Structure 1
Amino acid sequence: MPADPSVSIFDPVHVGVDEFGHPVRVPLIYRNLLIGGEPGGGKSTLLNLIVAHAALSLDCRLCLLDGKQVELGQWKSCADVFVGPDIMHALATLRRMQIVMDNRYAYLEVAGRRKTQRDDVFSPILVAIDEIAYFSATVGDKKTREDFAGLLRDLVARGRAVGIIVVAATQRPSSDIIPTSLRDLFAWRCAFRCTTNVSSDIVLGHGWADRGWSSNTISPTNPGVGLLIAEGGIPQLIKAAYLDDAACARIAIHAARMRADRKERAA
């Protein structure tokens, strides 16, 4: 992965290779991505690749939510906001993001435009959530979980045009974990190995298993392999690039230094 100031969140993210060994790059600006699959299948691998690209992109801000703290914890030094296992902090953060989103739309209205662009005065924001089920179905009471889902739905529905990118990972995004009204707003999906065709369809969308696209066919001995729906709208078999803990730590340190240097120059 390149590690220099030329990296931009407006550039496609290198996520791995296809079944022919060709690089797979996915543009995320103006998009949202839902990642699903069984434990150990590759969800966190893909999520960390995306966060690494965003961390190295000095034109992108990071908002990270991680109920386990350790999957995205190495990127804390690069993040503007890091939310651990605290539902109230998560709710407060999403409400702040909602205000930011509304302010950006007010700016676009005055500017006579419908979406942000590379040279705008404000930077895109990556909202990365590891194991969304922790916040939407596990911690807190029914009201706080519903509030979380409602706020996140608004960000996914309206945030794209103002540079707010939501990438969320979970094991099985069924309706009891992620409301259907929220899940269906994620246009781009990636399903790593799932135990059933039904689970695969929950990630990719209804009917793909019947058409021959099911992540249930992925071998459990081949982690990091998944079906990606992005540009083109047809599932594509990919092998996600792998960043181990040491690589993530090195990239995070480098990215944090670049961001600190930029702040010093701007001061």
Structure 2
Amino acid sequence: MEAITGYVSYALPIATVLVGVWLLVTVVRYVRADKDTRVSMRQAVRVRWGWVRLARMAGLTVTDKTPGLLAQITASKDGATPAPRVLTPKIKVKPDPYGVIVQARTLPQVGLEEYQKSARFLADAWRCTRVSVLPDGPGRVVIRGVRSDPLTTPTTHRPTGLPLADLTRWELGVDEYASRVSVSLANVPGVTVAGVPGAGKTSGVNKFVCDFAPSAAVQIVTVDGKVSRASEGDYADLVKRMFAFCGDDLDEANTLFKRLVELRKRRSSVIRDVLGVKNMWHVGPSPEWPLTVLIIDEAHTYFREHKGSDPTTKRLGALTAENARLVEDLVKKGRSVGILVILISQKTTGDAIPTFIRDVCPIGLSFAQKTVEAAVAALGEDIRNWPNASPVTLQDPAYVGVAVMAMQGRPGYTRIRTPYVSDADAARVAEVTSHLTADPDLCLDALLRATGRTTTPTPSLTK
């Protein structure tokens, strides 16, 4: 007993010190947090303290009629029948500026489906705008409760100017539960981006350029149907990081598409000998074999049908038909050699982007749309079954910069808040990374020479 008393005399001060340190750390975190995070920290405390009672009211507990070992021993001495135990799932709560993230355990008869059915009760009890429940591994779920709506909260993105660690991931923004959303670009031949003017299409693509520009393993070429010269329009600040650019001139665009098709053919003919694989994505892009991204803004400018019998109209019609054929070649055959096409248009209906191009692009984003037909063209027929996620509901100014897309592995459609990149930041990134700009044709020539092979040089693309 004296030894135990001695241990207790030491344990009490140690426990007091540990509790004091924990309180100090909590206070420091609270003081250093921003206003929204402080509210979420108080919310997290309420969630923890009220969980046992709330779980019972929401039907997220289970009654265990089998007594535990200690209850059996006690019952055998007293001769009484052990009372059944009410088991409550254990949780861990983490606050952030938008709300709380709750990691919860499952129990027999209290699984993912039961949590999802109780989501609306949890949202009311936690004073959240919405609550989602997703699996978090065997025996676990993650409950996301957002107090403020991430979709109506404008966000900004300041590019670091550092190369991405993973060139196969495109970070799009956050979804309606403030979870980060990204898509894989590996083995993706094309992306379509739709939406009414001013909805955020070009801003979203600007972020893509700013994020990938610091890598010499990515080279970008742009054709923009809204302008006539590189010094005009949305890409004027980024053109220094593009190895080629042309405006709304159909002849110039046609020449550019032809040269990219020639690059595709050259790469296809030597990829196995040079890279040792049939698909570039098996080894990934490199400065010698960069991922070549073709951005076609206002794509309908280059594809729309010209009707008329006069010589000028016939010539323009022939040009747009050939442009469609050339871009089809890039989308259908460029994936394995590292060519990605991003097509941007207000509506991605068949008259704006030919269906034989649009339907091959596996990734489709749509910002605000005015009609259901435009939403269907951008996202597919299934969007009719998800009216609450339709881009037609995004016409309010608060949703500028919000896009809808179908995410692999998720049911239905996901709404995403894309961040705004300022013109000053875009210009800064383009300036500091301009030395990385290179013509992929010349890169291929250098690679072939380095491997002891010869090739017929293709004229470089000029700005």
Q: Does TM, normalized by the shorter one, top 0.5?
A: yes
Q: Closer, same or farther in 2 for the Cα pair 1:87/1:109, shift >3 Å?
A: same
Report deviation, 1:125. 0.3
5 Å-filtered alignment, 1:100-249, equals: 100-110=263-273, 113-116=277-280, 117-118=283-284, 121-137=288-304, 141-212=316-387, 213-221=389-397, 222-232=399-409, 234-249=412-427
Structure 2 Cα separation of the partners of residues 99 and 230 of structure 1: 33
Secondary structure of 2:213's aligned partner: helix
Structure 1 Cα separation of the partners of residues 247 and 257 of structure 2: 13
Q: Is the 8 A contact 1:17 1:24 kept in 2?
A: yes
Report deviation, 1:211. 3.6
1:37 aligns with 2:195: yes
Structure 2 Cα separation of the partners of residues 194 and 92 of structure 1: 33
Deviation per CA, 1:152-173: give whole Å up to 9, x if none.
1111111111110111110001
Match of 2:222 in 1: 64
Report deviation, 1:257. 4.3
> TM-score when scaled to structure 1?
0.89
Deviation per CA, 1:120-158: give whole Å up to 9, x if none.
641110111111111112887111111111111111111
| Identity among equivalent pairs (%) | 25
How many equivalent residue pairs?
Answer: 261
Q: Closer, same or farther in 2 for the Cα pair 1:38/1:142, shift >3 Å?
A: same
Q: Closer, same or farther in 2 for the Cα pair 1:207/1:22, shift >3 Å?
A: closer
The letter for the 1-side match of 2:169 is P
Match of 1:28 in 2: 185
Secondary structure of 1:194's aligned partner: coil
Deviation per CA, 1:6-29: give whole Å up to 9, x if none.
326724122211111122222324
Which structure 1 segments of 5+ residues have no match?
Answer: 261-265
Report deviation, 1:218. 1.6
Structure 2 Cα separation of the partners of residues 161 and 232 of structure 1: 24
Structure 2 Cα separation of the partners of residues 219 and 86 of structure 1: 32
Secondary structure of 1:176's aligned partner: coil
Q: Closer, same or farther in 2 for the Cα pair 1:164/1:9, shift >3 Å?
A: farther
Runs of 4+ in structure 1 deviating by more than 3 angstroms, as ranges, are: 109-112, 230-234, 257-260
Structure 2 Cα separation of the partners of residues 78 and 202 of structure 1: 32
Find 2:429's aligned residue among 251, 255, 258.
251
Report deviation, 1:235. 2.2
Q: Closer, same or farther in 2 for the Cα pair 1:8/1:88, shift >3 Å?
A: farther
Q: Closer, same or farther in 2 for the Cα pair 1:255/1:232, shift >3 Å?
A: farther
Q: Closer, same or farther in 2 for the Cα pair 1:252/1:230, shift >3 Å?
A: farther
Q: Closer, same or farther in 2 for the Cα pair 1:96/1:209, shift >3 Å?
A: same
The letter for the 1-side match of 2:211 is H
Q: Closer, same or farther in 2 for the Cα pair 1:174/1:167, shift >3 Å?
A: same
Deviation per CA, 1:169-220: give whole Å up to 9, x if none.
1000111111111110111000101011111010011232234341111242
> TM-score when scaled to structure 2?
0.53
Report deviation, 1:258. 5.1
Q: Is the 8 A contact 1:9 1:54 kept in 2?
A: no
Q: Is the 8 A contact 1:65 1:90 kept in 2?
A: yes
Structure 1 Cα separation of the partners of residues 436 and 279 of structure 2: 28
The letter for the 2-side match of 1:20 is Y
Structure 1 window deviating more from structure 2 (215-224 vs 135-144): it is 135-144
The letter for the 1-side match of 2:414 is Q
Secondary structure of 1:161's aligned partner: helix
Q: Closer, same or farther in 2 for the Cα pair 1:40/1:161, shift >3 Å?
A: same
The letter for the 2-side match of 1:132 is A
Match of 1:263 in 2: none
Structure 1 Cα separation of the partners of residues 405 and 343 of structure 2: 14
Structure 2 Cα separation of the partners of residues 219 and 202 of structure 1: 17
The letter for the 1-side match of 2:221 is C
Find 1:77's aligned residue among 226, 240, 247.
240
Structure 1 Cα separation of the partners of residues 254 and 186 of structure 2: 24
Secondary structure of 1:193's aligned partner: coil
The letter for the 2-side match of 1:226 is A
**Greater helix fraction, Structure 1 or Structure 2:** 2
Secondary structure of 2:187's aligned partner: coil
Which structure 2 segments of 5+ residues have no match?
Answer: 1-158, 228-232, 307-314, 439-445, 447-463
Secondary structure of 1:241's aligned partner: coil
The letter for the 2-side match of 1:38 is V
Structure 1 window deviating more from structure 2 (159-168 vs 244-253): it is 244-253
Q: Is the 8 A contact 1:137 1:177 kept in 2?
A: yes
